[in-house]
Amino acid sequence: MNGLEAIAFYNGWKISATGICIVFTALCTLSFIISQLHKGLSIWEKREEYIKKAGKLFSRPKKTVLHRKIKVSESFNESARQFHVLTQSMKDPFSLPKLIMLAKKIDLGRPHSTVNDLLSARLIVPDGKGLYYWDNDVYTTILEKE
Amino acid sequence: MHIDFQNIQEINLFKDLSSEELDKVLPIIHPAKIFEGERLIWEGDTPQMFYIIISGNYMVYFKDGRAFTLHNKGAMLGWSTVAGPFTYHESVVALTDGEVLTIHVEEFLHLMQEDSGLGSKITKKVTEIVRLRKAFVKGALTTNVNR
């Protein structure tokens, strides 16, 4: 058995067809990779930008803190500390008149104007339903300024 | 504190009044100094006065513990003097020293009855304020009450 007959007998045609397919597929894949290489390179060059974007997609949106110019004095900080402790003893959101009443009970000086100052400094923030909460972000900012 | 036409016309409640009408209103308006912690209104009391803020900061609060604060000139305190059921719906306390205009309810209602044109202009303004405040009383605050 010689020639074409032998090739057919030992599956030569099938083997060569498979080989051609493998080579052709590999060449196609390689050419596709080369054609898209410029995109990959530009992504690599801008990798930090993309990492930031991806990070934003998966991270929780941070609460934006309005950094207002707040006049803070020693006595204000002290009052803020005292009222912070008081608000912590109350259920959140808390009632503003109850906070003033509590401050009066424990003899904190000038509770009404202090509450007004805390409202102006946005340490005490209305929840829109008549109750209030303590803004810890603003409080931290004030403490950091000390 | 001196009260004149210009002062009064800046106030939302009296903004639409003519100079003749303002002439009639001026005698029933009395300025008063308010001190920090002073209580102007008690919830449930029979109204005798209502107040218009000139300066200072005030807290309006209710028996259930809810409250809002008023800081703007021209904001009205004690609207239930002119809108039924004629008892104060809220308590009001001054958070800081300030000044208000006080208006005695009987004098005010008498003036409104005497001059229907003036009465309807003021009633329109009061209705606006009452609508906003009533929304708050019912627990549905969605708008600015600083008026």
Q: Which residues of chain B have pLDDT under 70?
A: 1-6, 81-85, 133-147
Q: What is the pLDDT, as a whole number, of residue B141? A: 47
A119 vs B136: CB contact, 8 Å cut-off? no
pLDDT digits (tens, 9 = 90+) for A11-45: 999 999 999 999 999 999 999 999 999 888 888 88
Does the distance separating the beta carbons of A95 and B67 come in below 8 Å? yes
How high is the pLDDT of residue B4?
Answer: 66
CB contact under 8 A, A113 and B141: no
Q: What is the pLDDT of residue A63?
A: 53
Higher local confidence (pLDDT), A138 or A101: A101
Report the pLDDT value the prediction gives residue B147, as an integer from 0 to 100: 45
* Structure ipTM: 0.78
Please state, rounded to an integer, the average pLDDT across all residues of chain A: 84
Q: How far is B13 from chain A (nearest CA, A)?
A: 25
Where do the domains of chain B lie, and which CATH numbers do they carry?
A: 5-23+30-137 (2.60.120.10)
Report pTM.
0.67
Of B36, B67, B95, the CB nearest to A130: B67
pLDDT of residue A138: 84
- Domain edges within chain A: 3-58, 74-145
Residue that the structure tokens 């000038």 belong to = A110
Q: Given this model, what pLDDT does residue B82 score? A: 67
Is A3 part of the contact surface with chain B (CB cutoff 8 Å)? no
The pLDDT tens digits of the residues spanning B48-78 come to 888 999 999 999 998 889 999 999 888 888 8
